[in-house]
Structure 1
Amino acid sequence: MSGRPLLPPGRQLAITWSIPDGFGGMTAALLRRSGAFVRLAGTEVDVLTFDGRPDYAEVRARLEERGQLVDGVRVRNLYERLRTEPVTPGEVPIPPDVAGLDEAGIRRETAADGAARLEVSSADGRLRVAHLRADGSLAVLDEHGRAERPRRLITAFGADGRPVRQWRSARACSADWIAEVAGDGDAFAIVDSKTAAAFLAHVRLPRLVTLHVVHNAHLAAPGGPIGRLRATRREVLSHPERFDAVVFLTERQRADAAALLGAPGNFAVVPNPTERPAAPPADPVADDAARDPASVVVVAGLTPRKRVDRAIRAVALARDRGPDARLRVVGDGPLAEALQELAREEGIADAVEFAGYRTDAADAFAQASVTLLTSTSEGAPLVLLEAMGRGCIPIADDIEYGPADVIDDGVNGFLVPPGGVWAMAGTIARIARMAPEERAAIRQAARATAAKFSEAGIVERWGEVERAAAERHLAERSAGALSVSLERVRLRRPRERLGVRLRLHGAPEGARVTIDLRPRRTDAVLRRTATAGSGHVRFRLSRTETALLAGGGPIRVRVLVEAGGARAELDAGELRPDTRSLARRGAGRLRPRPS
């Protein structure tokens, strides 16, 4: 480790959409990383959230009680800030609609200190959300689905009830707050939530370095061909260059993303840090003897993606093979009742314990012999490393991404085919029948693997990634932006193939032009890259590509122009393809116009 500080100088921001009750691995990893930055690098971290819940004081208290919020990590919320601190005055050109906010029948969520969030719905589909201070006064009115433009309007009010500032979108309001927290000095914003990443991608400040962590699988069909991004990842990852760094948790995922998206030069790999594991037992065989060899634990949210039903079926099948396997399920979610019913149907209700959500969930690994991972997809499942650090042997579906990056099959755990319930059941039975010395050796290897993901090494790696991202940010800022504008954009589809024509003003000869076409009513996205010649770019799509775009109504056209390290992002808005033939277009030009 070098003598320089672990992290570069500057403010550290961790950006996520919310901190929900019973949060999962992404939020746990964010809080653990932030705590490691404080403990090991001596750098305070501001965790910024943007949801409207009014009880963040209670959220912080619960996190502190659980030991998940250390001194130096501050959890902050946009609407809490607008409720409790004066807002810098600005323009308020549109009168906010405050009528009827005190009527009965309004959905209300109130915090212990009296702060509240109200929802007022209208028959025309309009929604107004009012954020009230502890004294009941109106702090913010957020209007959704307005009949006129802008469709979204956010207005902040002073303590005297007068509107003091207004934003025409949530993105603009959020960006202003990020700029306020970042200040005028160097700052680093690590965004974990894909929801928050969608707007942070458009926040470009002179001294704010932005980094996006991709926690889960990015492909539309994990395990299949590398060809499509998930719909939830498309908006952000189709333009990775909008971040100074895009960070993946495993090398396999980084490589697959580079194969799909090209290699923009800002991809990096930093695994999540694990908790500092307890010292390994002095007598590994005695540690193994203290565990029931057929005891199984699953720590997961009870949601469709986690597929806990497969764990229940695997334990039932393992019991059919002889071992008296028992399962403990730690976690909660919408499928809790259905999973309990499944355990009854499988005839093992008395062998399955549903422990619910627990703040000490990881401690369950210290008593169990085996843990199961049955998810459809993961990023780098922190739960595996937590289990391995406590000597619990993992059996995981070999999904993308994560398990194969930490499990050496048969050495420190076991991999089975995705969805392979029979294989998982057989492995549970096999482990239960092993000699204690053999199981103890696997537990020791699992602990050694988890130790490689220590906080110190991960924080040092984050420092390297942030410094490289800062260099890219500085280079982009020094290069400046291209002075390019769109003179004309035409989409023509007289027959079966769509033609695209652009005329760019100010584009250097040979500039790289990337065109992004997105229909409104489908998930389809088409990107084409061309070279600008005399400011003109033109191409025709194939029949298949045309059919993909044509069924979605108006097409959103965005253009990225790059030359010599400088760039310009241009938005042409939504356009409808012109389906007239050449003859009809000519006739239209010759038709006399009314005087």
Structure 2
Amino acid sequence: MTDPVLPDSVLPDADYLVLASRLIPDRDGGFTISVLRRAQDMAAAGARVTLLTVDPGERADHDRDRAEWVRRGLLTDPDDLRNLFDDARADAGWLRAAALPLPAPAPDEDAHGTVTGARVIADAAGRTVLELPVISGDPAWHLSSAPVTVWSEDGAAPVGWLPGFGGLYRAWVNARAAASARPVAVLCEARQVGELLVADAPPLLDPAIRVLHTTHACHLQAPYTWDAPMDAAWSRWLDIADRFDGVLWLTPSQQRDVERRVGDGIRSFVVPHPAPSGLANDPVAGRIVMLNTLSARKRVDHATRALATVRASVPHAELHVYGDGPERAALQSLADELGVADAVVLHGHTADPEAAWATADLFALTSTNEGQPLVVLEALGHGVPVVSYDMPYGPRDTLARGGGMLVPDGDVDALAGALTALLTGPGVRAWLSDAARAAAAQMDAASSMRALAVAARAALDAPASRPGRPPHR
């Protein structure tokens, strides 16, 4: 993918901190790629952007990740990707300055798991910098206020403590922001980090910092209607979402469904992922492509069953699936059972999706739910027509400008019918391919950055609604 060319200074003048839990190559699917691409687009729009992560790995591992992102063209300068624990190992002055005096309180064993030990974070000389509590028994362990112990500069003894991971994260972000002479806006990309960032606990996040929170996934559980159940993590996050200076939804549909459910008390904006454009595609006739994990949520079994029907009319049709996961063996068995094993190719994980797009005739999406799938945008940018279930969220909004066909969610016969119609109607396929490229051109990086600029300007111009600041009006 070529680097975007955007007008300078699209975004308001500020220092932007893009905060994620981790950014590790080939982990976390499209989330990681979308975070890095957005940071690139922001920089191309004239913004000063620093990526921040909070995973407690070793410096050597983080350096290896940085080098790999540079190699893939998703990071220009390794210094633009910073890690909390790398910073603490290099200079923990900010950590000691934020620490509360000893003694630290005993951890509450009834709240968010049980402390079973401590993880020592040491600097390059082997001196202890801090100790993290090891917590078990609760998936929401990150909410624990179990003390993070801060050690002296010489690593000889503890000198203070911070209330849990939230206290540690807020201390670091405050220190990063204090080094800036400009307004600071945090673009938080992970809910488990965001809810800690705006918590009402010491040290409070600096009231001058603006926090925009992105979203990457569907907030619903089955049956995925606007009033369907939500898991505990989403419910908890929505309860405090009015503390953010802006929540960024990927689609208008999800924004509407959330507002229908919780009202309009959240400052929310729609900032979609951009589509690439002008990318090569020399399709192999009959090649249906999917790029996703092999998990139950992706329902690749639906596409496999549809292929068995398609091949009655299009004997040369094949399904090429790029990705890996726990359903691989079951999918291979299903292909054997349906007599299409020779036409279903499970390629496994690929670090080079361009190879998949280069030969794709059609793209199929059969997930139960998404946020705004990057693969649909990539298909449009390559001129590959999309056949997708009409599920939340993304396909309906993204295909509104053309480039694909929606079929009823979960209807395998309708999926097979749409695939057959496109594979047996070259004129329709060519028309949709042209429409896909035209749609991608309208959903480019510049349009996404203009939407982000609206949200950033609103956040920078208005007071925040979180502890330490007056509520917004």
User: If the length of structure 2 is used for normalisation, what is the TM-score?
Assistant: 0.85
Structure 2: runs of 5+ lacking an equivalent = 1-5, 107-113, 137-143
Shift of the 480–441 alpha-carbon distance from structure 1 to 2, 3 Å rule, reads: closer
Partner of 1:157: 151
1:553-564 equivalent positions in 2, closer than 5 A: none
Partner of 1:83: 89
Larger radius of gyration: 1
Partner of 2:177: 182
Partner of 1:347: 339
Give CA deviations for 1:295-348 in whole Å, capped at 9, x if unaligned. Answer: 011111222222222222222332234432112111223333333333333332
8 A Cα contact 2:18 2:186, kept in partner: yes
Shift of the 9–128 alpha-carbon distance from structure 1 to 2, 3 Å rule, reads: same
Partner of 2:378: 386
Letter in 1 for 2:68: R
- Give the Å deviation of 1:233: 1.0
Partner of 1:193: 190
Structure with the bigger percentage of strand: 1
User: Is 1:416–2:395 an aligned residue pair?
Assistant: no
Q: What SS does structure 1 have at the residue aligned with 2:311?
A: helix
Shift of the 433–189 alpha-carbon distance from structure 1 to 2, 3 Å rule, reads: same
Partner of 1:588: none
Structure with the bigger percentage of helix: 2
User: Is 1:58–2:55 an aligned residue pair?
Assistant: no
Shift of the 129–367 alpha-carbon distance from structure 1 to 2, 3 Å rule, reads: same
- Give the Å deviation of 1:91: 4.6
Same amino acid, percent of matched pairs? 31
Q: What SS does structure 2 have at the residue aligned with 1:218?
A: coil
1:579-594 equivalent positions in 2, closer than 5 A: none
In structure 2, C-alpha distance between the alignment counterparts of 1:168 and 1:200, rounded to whole Å: 12
Length, aligned pairs only: 440
User: Is 1:437–2:427 an aligned residue pair?
Assistant: yes
Give CA deviations for 1:207-264 in whole Å, capped at 9, x if unaligned. Answer: 2111111221123345424264442211111232110111111111111111111112
Shift of the 337–62 alpha-carbon distance from structure 1 to 2, 3 Å rule, reads: farther
Shift of the 343–26 alpha-carbon distance from structure 1 to 2, 3 Å rule, reads: same
Shift of the 96–343 alpha-carbon distance from structure 1 to 2, 3 Å rule, reads: farther
Structure 1: runs of 5+ lacking an equivalent = 98-123, 281-286, 482-561, 567-595
1:321-470 equivalent positions in 2, closer than 5 A: 321-408=313-400, 411-434=402-425, 436-470=426-460
Shift of the 145–456 alpha-carbon distance from structure 1 to 2, 3 Å rule, reads: closer
Give CA deviations for 1:462-497 in whole Å, capped at 9, x if unaligned. Answer: 1111011222226x69x954xxxxxxxxxxxxxxxx
8 A Cα contact 2:195 2:240, kept in partner: no
Shift of the 390–462 alpha-carbon distance from structure 1 to 2, 3 Å rule, reads: same
Letter in 2 for 1:194: R
In structure 2, C-alpha distance between the alignment counterparts of 1:340 and 1:87, rounded to whole Å: 55
Letter in 1 for 2:403: N
Shift of the 72–56 alpha-carbon distance from structure 1 to 2, 3 Å rule, reads: closer
In structure 1, C-alpha distance between the alignment counterparts of 2:367 and 2:214, rounded to whole Å: 20
Q: What SS does structure 1 have at the residue aligned with 2:403?
A: coil
Letter in 2 for 1:425: A
In structure 1, C-alpha distance between the alignment counterparts of 2:300 and 2:123, rounded to whole Å: 42
Letter in 1 for 2:183: D
In structure 2, C-alpha distance between the alignment counterparts of 1:46 and 1:341, rounded to whole Å: 46
8 A Cα contact 1:44 1:72, kept in partner: no
Letter in 1 for 2:359: Q
Shift of the 9–151 alpha-carbon distance from structure 1 to 2, 3 Å rule, reads: closer
In structure 1, C-alpha distance between the alignment counterparts of 2:357 and 2:366, rounded to whole Å: 16
In structure 1, C-alpha distance between the alignment counterparts of 2:357 and 2:7, rounded to whole Å: 37
1:104-253 equivalent positions in 2, closer than 5 A: 126-145=116-135, 152-158=146-152, 160-162=154-156, 163-183=158-178, 185-202=182-199, 204-221=205-222, 223-226=224-227, 228-253=229-254
User: Which moved further from structure 2: 338-347 or 327-336?
Assistant: 338-347
Shift of the 139–3 alpha-carbon distance from structure 1 to 2, 3 Å rule, reads: closer
Q: What SS does structure 2 have at the residue aligned with 1:126?
A: strand
Aligned Cα RMSD in Å? 2.9
1:533-548 equivalent positions in 2, closer than 5 A: none
In structure 2, C-alpha distance between the alignment counterparts of 1:327 and 1:394, rounded to whole Å: 14
Partner of 1:118: none
Shift of the 73–28 alpha-carbon distance from structure 1 to 2, 3 Å rule, reads: farther
Letter in 1 for 2:66: R
